[in-house]
A and B are shown apart, each in its own frame.
Chain A
């Protein structure tokens, strides 16, 4: 089985890789680049634990073949932190107790980040829609929604 040459930018760093036809973006991130923040839950696009941002949009990294995305930009949860400082969403998740076991958290954060990048001022309904594909089995969703809302409010405060 021949390998396919792919160049992708992950969290700002360029990687030239030779991947197999079956390698999922999720496998590339975890096994090759050792970015294990992205989790595998169901492997069939139902739980959202593997959510990353691909060219600006939240996607399931378990339903993308790395061979498909030559030239693309990927942002994972590891890319949220800048110079040792947590992203406001990460701070908010801690403050609002939106993390319990933590398995869904990276996916939730990436879905929330994709939403706020597109729409910095979302309604509660829009927040719910953005994370409807992310399952959390511990906290319920209330604290997670509150955390995302608080960042949106903070943003409004800054910009007004």
Chain B
């Protein structure tokens, strides 16, 4: 039985005060991950002494267009992403990913900040946010800092967030002309589906040539990361010269070089190759139609 005390923050400053003066505090918002961890007495929740509720901090619940980025408040729900006109317009990739999370009930309650901070290897928002070069803002009593998402992740279910810090928002830089993006996911069923594999690809294509490539599989490695060898292999190439099967294989090789051969490798080797092929195929078709 995990025993804890409940603390409620009525403002961000109050939350930071609590974090500064108590130890073994976990922050709760939507609770769709942490309450499951507590109930299942998961190792990740065992050290918990205080649960700090920030779910009613309205100042962290927003989606706001800024000059060069789209700012998403940490307490924005997945439903807010799906329903946001500006996110649909600029980052359909995030919408596709958010739609696949859990179920309507989970998307209504689960938050963007929660998905990032829980840092599950299979988190559906992480590959798109890494591929979009998003950064997070972390606030503490000492001030504020910004960290790129791929540097924020430190391992499976681990981040570089310090104990006195709260994530306030994630900022997604707006893309220029010629960008295309795609999200893929496979799991055991369509709803309530924890990704066996997911994948985000963002490509900049000009006159058929790839000038920017970002390829981020999820649930393939200990935590989602850019697959640099795959990116290099397609960067600068003309899309009609790219052998999709070969690039798919390359992605599988890059996964295995990171993880070694695991029990799931015979499945994931083939599945990841197919996902990469499928995502690239879709993007190339869109790019051709756009010419």
Q: Which residues of A contact B (CB under 8 A)?
A: 1-2, 4, 21-22, 24, 43-46, 48, 51, 57-60, 62-65, 67-68, 70-71, 111, 114-115, 129-134
Contact = CB atoms under 8 A, between A and B. Distances in A.
B141 interface: no
B109 A63 contact: yes
Contact of B104 (A21, A62, A71, A133): A133
Interface in B103-138: 103-106, 108-109
7 contacts: A24-B35, A63-B30, A68-B31, A68-B55, A68-B56, A133-B102, A133-B103
B28 interface: yes
B144 interface: no
Contacts of B158: none
A87 B105 CA distance: 22
B36 interface: yes
Contact of A46 (B55, B79, B192): B192
A56 B142 CA distance: 38
Interface of B: 3-6, 8, 28, 30-32, 35-36, 39-40, 51, 53, 55-56, 79, 102-106, 108-109, 190-192
Nearest to B108: A57
A21 B51 contact: yes
A117 to B, nearest CB: 13
A67 B7 CA distance: 9
B36 A21 contact: no
A21 B6 contact: yes
A64 B8 contact: no
Contact of A48 (B6, B8, B103): B103
A113 to B, nearest CB: 12
B35 A63 contact: yes
Contacts of B30: 63
Given A1-B5, A63-B35, 10 more contacts: A44-B36, A48-B105, A60-B106, A62-B35, A63-B32, A63-B109, A65-B35, A115-B104, A130-B104, A133-B103
A44 B30 CA distance: 13
Given A67-B8, A132-B190, A132-B191, A1 B105 contact: no
Contacts of B109: 57, 59-60, 63-64
A63 B109 CA distance: 9
B5 A21 contact: yes
Nearest to B107: A133
A59 B105 contact: yes
A62 B190 CA distance: 22
Given A63-B31, A132-B191, A45 B79 contact: no
Given A44-B36, A59-B109, A132-B192, A67 B104 contact: no
